[in-house]
Amino acid sequence: MYEVADDLLAASGLENYEVSNWARPGHESRHNRMYWDQGDYRGFGSAAHSHESGRRWWNVRTPERYVEAVEGGRSPQSAEEILDVDTRRIEGLQLALRTRDGVPTVAFSPDDLRLLDDMVNVVGEQVVLTRRGRLMANEVSLRLR
């Protein structure tokens, strides 16, 4: 189904710029790009996530609990995590791999690049996913270093 969708969207003039996103050239989502670039953002509402400088947190899941917390003057935050430097680095690579810009070739060993032959293309100094690679992006990302 993904391949059919990709073909239909491409035939309609839309370009794939992230594993699950297509747009007319110049109309890509700036909002989503912020997530892929590990930018800072605030989420409001039940189950909303936020991120700032490696600290990620999220609100309670249900609307009822969210409203109850806010009306009671309490924080609706459910939990948080602090991302260390290595975690932020690998997450950054995993997110970048999903985009048409890809990741630097040094993010993979030469042996892994050979093994991933039909799932990635080397374009200059970048590794980008092929269509088959987009279908297997999670598997490809396991080889990032």
Domain ranges of the chain: 38-83
In the chain, which stretches have pLDDT less than 70?
none
CB 48 within 8 A of CB 58: yes
The model's pTM: 0.87
CB 115 within 8 A of CB 88: no
Residue-level pLDDT at 25:
96
Q: CA angle, 141 as apex, 96 and 94 as ends, to 5°?
A: 30
